[in-house]
């Protein structure tokens, strides 16, 4: 049986996402509610190794629920990938009598947490924080909903200028391996075509689709391209290809970039972060470890970290079909 | 066996909500995709009775996915509550050879659709469009997510001035019979207390909570009050009560009002609207009738209109608890 | 000749407005630039009396340029209106060897600063921070531009629901004595009529205007009412009046309230705040006192505090005419 | 003496900017107010040549004041640069008995209008619509204020992720020949350095500034780069340069792109558009021609088109200094 948890540490690691601050706040306040101590670790595993953490109470996290980014800061730690680094992190935790860890981040963060647990038996719970929504075991990762709204707002603005000039825009959104942002934001932005890594549509289909859309009377078009799209060309090559092969198009490219990671979290992400924070702390208190908290069928559920990492999210085929129908 | 559907009408009725335009667009484009005709009906059942509808093609709904409100306009129709009114509506539909109806709205809209179907056997499918999220058979009604973000944005602004002045704000949000907006936006806005119709907390608890929160070092507080809160006092009486019974508070009231109904729909609501529109039309084409389309466990599902109307949504008890913990 | 200034204090007082944080930041950083010390005073004159201030360097004001409200907090101080209160404030300043004060706020703030200077000869410079734009000597007070955008965003949302239902909305905006917010936001929101304190239009004109607008084919209307409108009825009485005297209108009321004071400042207000902060500190360093910094013809200029307080801003008659023409 | 104007045409040309729709609306409604006819011309001078215009009344421009882009669409017309093209445009205008033209756009638009007037004596008035603010004779071009807010909002988001990761971001904003957007948005976004075409700072200064800022304790930095910056390297080369020459920096690049042109216009731009539209029409009615309307010292003033085109806006040196002080 697991020993009673009395002090919990929380950190954010990997790429930041909106809602991380809200999740930290939830972890800290749930600790306060259960009258156990909570420590905020700066710069992810890097700060763990350096012992760069500090005690936090309910008031320490005041006014951060609506702030983007993570005030604990995030970092990728090379040292934590070494046995020595992890040993040192463990020593620092033991020294401070901390007996549980909540790690907020994505794949890499969870892998680190799992290895750490395997080596030292240290209780860890993960909270999925990444805008990419590429983690199995939750319908939504923290920040995904906010990023979608940011992207859609940008597409709306680009649409204004696209239709004023009867132009074709290629808009690149984040998603190196997964097309969740592209697919959802594409539908919501009324995109004429959406290119995602999960589907190799081929250039022919794109050309055909654009021609059809032009014939149907559309004077401007927006094509959403996920970073990791496998069509074999990057977004600037796509532009060149269309310039050369399609007539009558005035093509422009827009790469939305890092603004997709920032901004005040949406209501959904703030509520999700709050629920996840509560669940993470209470899972540790119940003696659970190496799980990720997630939203499944509207409820907070636990998924083994191993499954969360190794799994691969699937693209929603219904959405693909909806996208096709909408670009009629 | 149902006869083949060849012409579909779509209308919006009852209070408007963000995403209605996106749903109309989806209905029209799904009809275009399946090469059947689609008619947009103006002013809900009122326009049906007057034959105020017009043929729409894919281009008719261009540029509306991001617009709040409903370009078909909405209305409450007294006449449609009479047998004569409904008979006339039926005559107009038959005259135009329309053989299916998609009705976008809430409780009242669905009741009308159901009675209409019972009397004339006319195929109807409902799409739940209301910001209140008070319909059984879908985890989200159209517009709920957008309204939440609007409310949270307003709370964030009020928080700025509340903390600058160490004030207590009572903020009234929509929700005559249900507290879904209050509960979610309250958590996301970091509210110190949330008053909802489903829970009669009593004034004593409110006073106790405010005192506790003051003692814990909070210098400003926000209490979210759902319109329909059953605490026995309206929001201005609440202010007077606190003015008289609590010391050291500078109390203000803010009633957010109708702006909660408007604005560009969120990404979530646009995608939901698109999915619902496709499902509604294709359900009619499959010979289904008197169902509402909804989102259940991430999928588009049908629920009998009767169940959707008679059901009563339940408040998420986990959220109530999260709210309590967060206001530690 | 004035002695050299070596330590400056800055405070915010009266109603908060977006941009106050940006102005504090500018004061602090300008001090750092000129290598003099800067103290942030909490809760306005109240904190001055209590000696509640603290030394700040360039890093103390990091990350606040985009935050609404004022992190120094604001308050109205009864004690500072007494000779004893002001004497105590003076003592505290002298004790800390502070020899100049930047006061950010409105009328009341400046009156306090002026009296303080008259009694103790203490150098003071004012920065006009209020959303109402009711200060002579600057074309824009800090926060006015941001509040306008907040109000217009709310009107846009209300317009969505107004046109969906063919309704008439009375929307109350801030402005107890002046109609600057109402007039500008009314034009930008496409209001059919704007009621401001500076003009007593009388109910007859309102009725006439609404009837004309109805006849011209408008199906929904928005009337912006400044808090301080002198039409002799409050906004709810206006609704009742129209309900009784105009046919065919479905009237609603929305009081925007305190959210108008909050939110991230607009680009304009942030730049203005930065310029004002620089000018305020450098004016003190040049030996100036009892002036307000302001924007006149695109440049930073000084106006005697006395003139700023006693003056009365005039409504822009051209805007009134533009409003009339636009509601054609 | 000029003959009486009875029919006016309005067009938008060149790059679109937020507020163009509001300006069209103002032109149309001012015509309605003065009971003269108004024609909307599609696709700028292209539509003029093709006779692609249509009569508009007050209701034709309903609901567009808050929409980005231009519903009349814009285009660059090669044909209008030829004598034949202009002759044909003139013929079309005469045919429709139109006797005055309002041209909304930038440099190129005004040059076209001026040549057209020189050849045919056709009365023209210009409205400056461009986000770049690069036109002499107005303190603000239409769309500048909106674009600034869009850029600042993006910088705020990028700042979230920059400070979470202690990164350096180069952010490119529009402004091929002028740095107005970069300078204002840079100050408002709290940029550590701003690179504009008007100033050749040299790479050394940039390096020095970044080093100083790092030493002062800043862990993240944002450098705003105007498209047309003359530092001799494009933004990606800048990144490479810093990667190679500065230690300890994790550098990222973000090119904001075309979203800067779109979006709902700010309150300021809507009011400005309304005032400019009124002034433009009434100037034509007063027999004026080949002027541009503009905002000077808070008032609507006329500037000869020739002067507007040939002039070169100057960078506000006070702002440059403020920027330096703020990045202390």
Assess A262–D contact: CB distance below 8 Å, yes or no: yes
Using CA atoms, how far residue C284 sits from A37, B221, C30, C124, C142, in Å, is 48, 38, 11, 7, 20
Indicate which residue of D52, D57, D99, D132 is catalytic: D132
Confidence band, pLDDT 50/70/90 cuts, at residue B285:
very high
Confidence band, pLDDT 50/70/90 cuts, at residue C230:
low
pLDDT, position A1: 40
Say if residue B2's pLDDT is above 60: no
Q: Which residues of D touch C322 (CB under 8 A)?
A: 26, 271, 274-275, 278
Q: Which two tokens stand for residue A102?
A: 């909540």
**CA C327 remoteness from chain centre:** 27
Q: Which residues, listed in sequence order, are joined to residue B221 by a DSSP beta bridge?
A: B168
Mean confidence (pLDDT) of chain B: 94
* Residue B24 and residue B104 in contact, taking contact as beta carbons nearer than 8 Å: yes
Q: pLDDT exceeding 90 applies to what percent of chain A?
A: 82
Say if residue B8's pLDDT is above 80: yes
Quote the CA–CA distance of B28 and D46 in Å, as a whole number.
33
User: Which has more pLDDT, A213 or B244?
Assistant: B244
Q: Which residues, listed in sequence order, are joined to residue A293 by a DSSP beta bridge?
A: A302
pLDDT along chain D (328 residues), means of 10: 83 97 98 98 98 97 96 94 98 97 97 98 98 96 98 98 94 94 98 89 83 80 88 85 85 96 98 98 98 97 95 92 93
Q: Is B197 helix (H, G, I), strand (E, B) or coil?
A: coil
pLDDT, position D148: 98
Quote the CA–CA distance of A30 and B107 in Å, as a whole number.
38
Q: Which two tokens stand for residue C144?
A: 């006015």
Nearest CA in chain B to A61: B326
Q: Do B267 and A151 touch (CB under 8 A)?
A: yes
State phi, psi for D270 to the nearest 5 degrees. -70, -40
Q: Is D205 helix (H, G, I), strand (E, B) or coil?
A: helix
Residue A7 CB partners (closer than 8 Å, separation 6+)? A36, A37, A38, A39, A96, A97, A98, A99, A100
Please identify among residues 240-259 of chain D the ones whose CB lies closer than 8 Å to any CB of chain A.
252-259
C199: left (phi over 0), alpha (psi -120 to 50) or beta: beta
Q: Which two tokens stand for residue D8?
A: 């006016």
Q: pLDDT exceeding 70 applies to what percent of chain C?
A: 98
Q: Which residues of B touch C161 (CB under 8 A)?
A: 15-16, 68-69, 258, 261-262
Residue range C253-304, pLDDT digits in tens: 999 999 999 999 999 999 999 999 999 999 999 999 999 999 999 999 999 9
Starting at the edge strand found earlier in the chain, the sheet holding C124-128 runs: C53-56, C37-41, C7-12, C100-105, C124-128, C291-296, C299-304
Q: Which of A62-66, A133-137, B213-217, D20-24 has the lowest mean pLDDT?
A: B213-217
Q: Which two tokens stand for residue A44?
A: 């992810």
Give the 3-state secondary structure of A60-127.
HHCCCCCCCCCCCCCCCCCHHHCHHHHHHHHHHHHHCCCCEEEEEECHHHHHHHHHHHHHHCCCEEEE
**CA B88 remoteness from chain centre:** 29
pLDDT, position B328: 80
Please identify among residues 306-325 of chain C the ones whose CB lies closer than 8 Å to any CB of chain D.
318-319, 321-322, 325
Which residue in D121, D30, D161 sits closest to C324, CA to CA? Answer: D30
R_g over Cα of chain A: 22
- State the alpha helices, DSSP H only, in chain C: 20-33, 44-50, 83-95, 107-120, 144-165, 180-188, 202-215, 235-245, 267-285, 305-310, 317-326
- State the alpha helices, DSSP H only, in chain A: 20-33, 44-50, 83-95, 107-120, 144-165, 180-188, 202-215, 235-245, 267-285, 305-310, 317-326
Residue D132 is a catalytic residue: yes
Q: Which residues of D touch A253 (CB under 8 A)?
A: 257
Q: Which two tokens stand for residue B109?
A: 């809209």
What are the respective helix, strand and coil percentages of chain C, to the nearest 5?
A: 45, 20, 35
What is the number of other CB atoms lying within 10 angstroms of the CB of residue A60?
17
Q: Do D190 and C300 touch (CB under 8 A)?
A: no
Let me know how long chain B is: 328
User: Which has more pLDDT, D106 or C1?
Assistant: D106
**CA B142 remoteness from chain centre:** 6
Q: Which residues of A touch D157 (CB under 8 A)?
A: 68, 150, 258-263
Confidence band, pLDDT 50/70/90 cuts, at residue C216:
confident
Residue range A54-83, pLDDT digits in tens: 999 999 999 999 999 999 999 989 999 999
Quote the CA–CA distance of D120 and A127 in Å, as a whole number.
71
* Residue A259 and residue A150 in contact, taking contact as beta carbons nearer than 8 Å: yes
Quickly count helices (H) and strands (E) in chain C.
Answer: 11, 11
Confidence band, pLDDT 50/70/90 cuts, at residue C85:
very high
Pairing of strands B221-226, D299-304: unpaired
Assess C166–D contact: CB distance below 8 Å, yes or no: no
Q: Which of A194-203, B15-24, C309-318, D234-243 has the lowest mean pLDDT?
A: A194-203
- Which of A282-286, B207-211, C73-77 ranks highest by mean pLDDT? A282-286
Confidence band, pLDDT 50/70/90 cuts, at residue B1:
very low
A130 annotated to bind ligand = yes
Rounded to an integer, the average pLDDT of C28-50 is 98
Output the pTM of the full model: 0.97
Q: Is C57 helix (H, G, I), strand (E, B) or coil?
A: coil
Q: Which two tokens stand for residue D145?
A: 């204020």
Quote the CA–CA distance of D5 and D1 in Å, as a whole number.
12
Say if residue C49's pLDDT is above 60: yes
Q: Which of A113-117, B129-133, D75-79, D102-106 has the lowest mean pLDDT?
A: D75-79
State phi, psi for B204 to the nearest 5 degrees. -60, -45
User: Which has more pLDDT, A75 or C200?
Assistant: A75
Say if residue C72's pLDDT is above 50: yes
Say if residue C112's pLDDT is above 90: yes
Q: Do D322 and C216 touch (CB under 8 A)?
A: no
Say if residue A32's pLDDT is above 80: yes
Assess D29–C contact: CB distance below 8 Å, yes or no: yes
Quote the CA–CA distance of A178 and A174 in Å, as a whole number.
9
Quote the CA–CA distance of C10 and C3 in Å, as a whole number.
19
Q: Which two tokens stand for residue D168?
A: 């350096």
Other chains touching D, judged by 3 or more CB pairs under 8 Å: A, C
* Residue A44 and residue A79 in contact, taking contact as beta carbons nearer than 8 Å: no
Other chains touching B, judged by 3 or more CB pairs under 8 Å: A, C
Which DSSP string do the residues of D133-167 spell out, in sequence order? ---TT-S--BTHHHHHHHHHHHHHHHHHHHHHHT-
Mean confidence (pLDDT) of chain C: 94
Q: Which two tokens stand for residue A308?
A: 């969360």
Residue A3 CB partners (closer than 8 Å, separation 6+)? A99
Say if residue A121's pLDDT is above 90: yes
Quote the CA–CA distance of D183 and C97 in Å, as a whole number.
37
Would you call B118 exposed, middle or buried from its count of C-beta atoms within 10 A (0-12, 13-18, 19+)? exposed
Residue range B48-73, pLDDT digits in tens: 999 999 999 999 999 999 999 999 99
Residue range A183-234, pLDDT digits in tens: 999 999 999 999 998 887 778 888 888 888 778 777 789 999 999 776 667 8
Nearest CA in chain B to C160: B69
Which residue in B129, B125, B127 sits closest to B143, CA to CA? Answer: B129
Residue B47 CB partners (closer than 8 Å, separation 6+)? B11, B41, B53, B72, B73, B75
Which DSSP string do the residues of C163-186 spell out, in sequence order? HHHT-EEEEEES-SS--HHHHHHH
* Chain B / chain C CB contacts < 8 angstroms: 110
Assess D59–C contact: CB distance below 8 Å, yes or no: yes
The helix (H) or strand (E) run that includes residue D270 is helix D267-285
Quote the CA–CA distance of B171 and B255 in Å, as a whole number.
6
Q: Which two tokens stand for residue C187?
A: 């034009």
Q: Which residues of C touch B75 (CB under 8 A)?
A: 165-166
* Residue B157 and residue C18 in contact, taking contact as beta carbons nearer than 8 Å: no
Structural domains of chain B ordered from first start: 7-143+265-310 (3.40.50.450), 145-261 (3.40.50.460)
Pairing of strands D299-304, D291-296: antiparallel
**CA C42 remoteness from chain centre:** 20
Q: Where are the beta strands (DSSP E) in chain D?
A: 7-12, 37-41, 53-56, 100-105, 124-128, 168-173, 193-195, 221-226, 251-255, 291-296, 299-304
Q: Which of A305-319, B217-231, B247-261 has the lowest mean pLDDT?
A: B217-231
Q: How many CA atoms lie within 13 A of A11 on its CB side?
A: 32
Quote the CA–CA distance of B143 and B68 in Å, as a whole number.
9
* Residue B10 and residue B104 in contact, taking contact as beta carbons nearer than 8 Å: yes
A29 annotated to bind ligand = yes
Residue range D27-51, pLDDT digits in tens: 999 999 999 999 999 999 999 999 9
Say if residue A2's pLDDT is above 60: no
Quote the CA–CA distance of B300 and A321 in Å, as a whole number.
13
């Amino acid at each position: 049986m697991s020993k009673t948890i009395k002090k919990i540490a929380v950190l954010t690691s990997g790429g930041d996402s909106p809602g991380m601050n809200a999740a930290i706040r939830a972890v800290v306040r749930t600790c306060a509610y259960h009258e156990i101590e909570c420590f905020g670790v700066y710069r992810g595993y890097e700060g763990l190794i350096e012992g760069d953490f500090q005690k936090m109470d309910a008031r320490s996290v005041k006014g951060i629920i609506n702030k983007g980014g993570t005030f604990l800061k995030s970092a990728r730690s090379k040292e934590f990938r070494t046995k020595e680094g992890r040993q040192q992190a463990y020593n620092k935790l033991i020294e401070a009598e901390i007996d549980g860890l909540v790690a907020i981040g994505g794949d890499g963060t969870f892998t680190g947490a799992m290895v750490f647990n395997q080596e030292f038996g240290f209780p860890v719970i993960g909270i999925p924080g990444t805008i990419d929504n590429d983690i199995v075991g939750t319908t939504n990762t923290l920040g995904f909903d906010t990023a979608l709204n940011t992207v859609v707002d940008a597409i709306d603005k680009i649409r204004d200028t696209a239709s004023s000039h009867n132009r074709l825009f290629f808009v690149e959104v984040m998603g190196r391996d997964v097309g969740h942002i592209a697919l959802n934001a594409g539908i919501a932005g009324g995109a004429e075509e959406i290119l995602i890594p999960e589907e190799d549509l081929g250039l022919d289909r794109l050309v055909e689709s654009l021609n059809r859309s032009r014939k149907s009377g559309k004077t401007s078009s927006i094509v959403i391209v996920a970073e990791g799209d496998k069509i074999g060309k990057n977004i600037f090559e796509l532009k060149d290809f269309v310039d050369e092969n399609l007539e009558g198009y005035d093509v422009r490219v827009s790469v939305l970039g890092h603004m997709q990671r920032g901004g005040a979290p949406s209501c959904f992400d703030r509520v999700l972060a709050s629920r996840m924070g509560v669940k993470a702390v209470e899972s540790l208190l119940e003696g659970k470890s190496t799980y990720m908290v997630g939203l499944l069928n509207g409820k907070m559920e636990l998924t083994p970290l191993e499954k969360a990492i190794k799994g691969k999210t699937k693209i929603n085929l219904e959405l693909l079909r909806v996208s096709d129908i909408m670009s009629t």
